[in-house]
Structure 1
């Protein structure tokens, strides 16, 4: 008699769900920014209303995202406990992928305490990288740097996330690389960070991508 080990279909369904375009990015956006309006998500990812509606409805049907109406004026979407658990599991899978050598797309973590600028940098990178975001120090501290290839850090002299928060990333023995975006060149003199590429605002997509590829190439040369 074969022992019933549970219904594997649910695993396949969730895998299929997350493999669909925008699903995982939407989950991470809702996790990073908290309750999000439909218009915020549409603006951030520049996708059609129909695609966004279908994506959010599917995530809601699975109990991963919760839809909340506010006095009939607008609705917001937030991550449920089940959704948070799912993203934790995805993080564990990322770690396994990195350890097994099967990872093919670099993971880039965007660090900026301004959600609008954070989203702007992330939007420049979504088409080429697996993008994560941290808008607060606590979000940064719970990142899994062992599966992060590059951190893009918008440096602000008196910002709530100062460069000391990145010291664990900037150690010479760390395999993660750092790209620092600064307001002016004189700010570079204040930073003493290893494995670091740098850009001065304003930054274009080609410039940011070239800098990321440069630090990744340097890491490959060091290995």
Structure 2
């Protein structure tokens, strides 16, 4: 099922298409959660770390830097002692809010079904005969 695209248009199905890097970035669980956590305005690093239970300082720093590099987040540093830094979504970042909220909501809504499917799969896999390895 191919959809015709204008020559030179982005096509994530192509290995060398730059849009794959964009998909890698927004498909990251921390990116998804950060977009939602930043949706209502500027937030400090410590508040983000508390909000995203389980994220390491390193992962938060790397994800925020990647989002800033991609133009999704704006970092503002205030010349105070100690320095105060806030992060907020750019216009581009705000354009992701509805999409990421949908993904998060879908995940929360269907987690029970997914866990049941995983348990059923694992149970079937455990009952299947294992191939005999020569040795």
TM-score (norm 1): 0.39
Out of 36, 41, 44, which is 2:48 matched to?
Answer: 41
Match for residue 39 of structure 2? 31
- Aligned residue for 1:22, secondary structure, equals helix
- Name 1:20's counterpart in structure 2: 28
Higher relative strand content: 1
Structure 2 residue aligned with 1:129: 108
**Relative to 1, partners in 2 of residues 1:24 and 1:41: Cα closer, same or farther, differing over 3 Å?**
same
Distance 2:86 2:78 in 1: 8
5+ long unaligned stretches in structure 2: 12-16, 113-135
Distance 1:40 1:106, change over 3 A: closer
The structure having more radius of gyration, on CA atoms, is: 2
Residue 41 of structure 1 and its aligned partner are, at CA, apart by 0.5
How far does the alpha carbon of each residue in 1:64-122 deviate from its partner, in whole angstroms, 9 at most, with x for none? Answer: 0000001242100000011112334x26xx5xxxxxxxxxx8827xxxxxxxxxxxxxx
CA distance in 1, matches of 2:8, 2:35: 29
Deviations 1:147-187 (A, max 9, x none): xx9xxxxxxxxxxxxxxxxxxxxxxxxxxxxxxxxxxxxxx
Matched, 1:54 2:57: no
What secondary structure does 2:38 align onto? Answer: helix
TM-score of the pair, normalised by structure 2: 0.61
Counterpart for residue 86 of structure 1 = 96
Structure with more contact order per residue of length (Cα contacts < 8 Å, sep ≥ 6):
2
Closer, same or farther: CA 14–106 of 1 in aligned 2, 3 Å: closer
Which whole-Å CA distance do the structure 1 matches of 2:27 and 2:46 have between them? Answer: 23
Long gaps (5+) in structure 1 = 95-104, 109-127, 131-148, 150-208, 211-223
Q: Once superposed, what is the RMSD of the aligned Cα atoms?
A: 3.0
